[in-house]
């Protein structure tokens, strides 16, 4: 039985949908913090919009998905084809300029696959038509996570083989990123199945499973009984990011079931390190609403609801930087936090 997500009043859901759509530009891009356009964050926001399941929300998702596909890179040194850069908006002119870099290749690609699957599974005919018409492009994006350099970021040999690196210029195999890669490939295999593309479904499902196996074999630390933050980087969960939250990502993205001993141990260490997280006491300026998603999956629904209420009390009604958040400076509310708020509080919401 799947644990229920935390409950949130309908008005809170509407607030988050409206917030995300207020950050969407005429081009379809969704702003993150300030004038930044960060595709990974926008993908999370769009997944939240799909969970909200309203006509305006689905229209916003379509516009974002179109923007993403229209901004894929051509191959260049340290830039795999099909990757997407971060962009910066000039508010005076409306011009969106690429930064020439990305935080990661693997996470951007994998959450794009999550979004493609969820968009098709929504049953919305327009979204379904868009995804089906672009399935070849989505396969090329998926291959960023299944091929080694220069096509993709999969590690093909050595002790880290089977994992992905964040990007060519930062060859670190993160637990959080690889958990997302597993989820993206598993969802993409499910999408190929829905489209009747049996051979492709089998292909991507095999890559998903090999990714999951590599995560469990190479990122789980049996000595510490927790997940390493990255390959060969043991976690002290007293450090919030990345070692602490790395314990949550294999739960959120389905690498291990909530009942799995690894999930129980990872969540237990996170909770022991930050026992008052549900009252807003975390050592970070941003609220990290994603914690509520992990908490709900682990059956901690009351704590998840408590934290949603705490976050809402701090940021509502304007959802701008609060006067107090326990950290200096306070982290501003942005598109991904709104997406996680929706994913953490809506029935049947899924990454």
Using DSSP, state whether 21 is helix, strand or coil.
helix
Q: What percent of the chain has pLDDT over 90?
A: 90
pLDDT at 351: 75
Of the candidates 122, 120, 139, 140, which has an alpha carbon nearest to the alpha carbon of residue 131? 120
pLDDT in tens, 233-289: 999 999 999 999 999 999 999 999 999 999 999 999 999 999 999 998 899 999 999
Strand-pair partners of 164: 154
Strands 220-221 and 36-37: unpaired
> Which residues are within 8 A (CB) of 149 and not within 5 positions of it... i.e. 6 or more apart?
80, 168
> How many angstroms separate the CA atoms of 279 and 207, rounded?
39
231 has a pLDDT exceeding 50: yes
340: its two tokens? 């996680």
Helix 106-121 × helix 135-142 angle, to 10°? 150
Fold classification of 10-345 (topology level): Glycosyltransferase (1.50.10)
Kindly state the average pLDDT of the residues 144-149: 98
Average pLDDT, the chain: 95
Kindly state the average pLDDT of the residues 124-133: 98
Sorting pLDDT into bands at 50, 70 and 90, what band is 182? very high
Residue with tokens 């002790």: 159
Distance linking the first and last C-alpha atoms of the chain:
17
């Amino acid at each position: 039985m799947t644990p229920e997500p935390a409950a949130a009043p309908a008005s809170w859901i509407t607030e988050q949908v409206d917030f995300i759509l207020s950050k969407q530009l005429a081009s379809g891009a969704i702003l993150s913090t300030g004038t930044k356009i960060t595709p990974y964050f926008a993908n999370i926001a769009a997944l939240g919009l799909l969970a909200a399941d309203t006509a305006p929300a689905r229209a916003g998702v379509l516009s974002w998905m179109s923007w993403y596909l229209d901004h894929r890179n051509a191959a260049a040194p340290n830039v795999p084809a099909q990757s997407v850069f971060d962009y910066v908006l000039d508010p005076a002119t409306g011009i969106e300029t690429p930064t020439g870099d990305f935080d990661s290749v693997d996470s951007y690609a994998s959450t794009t696959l999550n979004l493609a699957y969820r968009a098709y599974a929504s049953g919305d005919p327009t979204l379904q038509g868009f995804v089906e018409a672009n399935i070849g492009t989505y396969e090329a994006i998926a291959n960023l996570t299944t091929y080694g350099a220069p096509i993709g970021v999969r590690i093909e040999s050595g002790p880290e083989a089977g994992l992905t690196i964040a990007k060519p210029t930062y060859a670190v195999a993160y637990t959080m990123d690889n958990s997302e890669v597993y989820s993206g490939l598993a969802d993409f295999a499910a999408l190929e199945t829905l489209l009747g593309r049996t051979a492709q479904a089998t292909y991507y499902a095999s890559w998903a499973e090999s990714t999951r196996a590599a995560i469990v074999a190479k990122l789980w630390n049996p000595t510490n009984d927790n997940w390493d933050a990255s390959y060969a980087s043991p976690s002290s969960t007293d450090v919030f990011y990345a070692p602490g939250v790395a314990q949550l990502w294999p739960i959120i993205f389905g690498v291990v079931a909530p009942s799995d001993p690894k999930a129980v141990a990872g969540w237990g260490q996170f909770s022991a390190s930050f026992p008052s997280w549900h009252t807003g006491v975390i050592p970070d300026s941003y609220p990290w609403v994603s914690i509520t998603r992990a908490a709900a999956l682990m059956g901690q629904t009351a704590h998840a609801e408590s934290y949603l209420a705490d976050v809402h009390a701090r940021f509502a009604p304007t959802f701008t930087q609060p006067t107090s958040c326990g950290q200096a400076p306070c982290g501003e509310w942005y598109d991904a936090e709104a997406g996680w708020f929706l994913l953490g509080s809506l029935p049947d919401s899924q990454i």
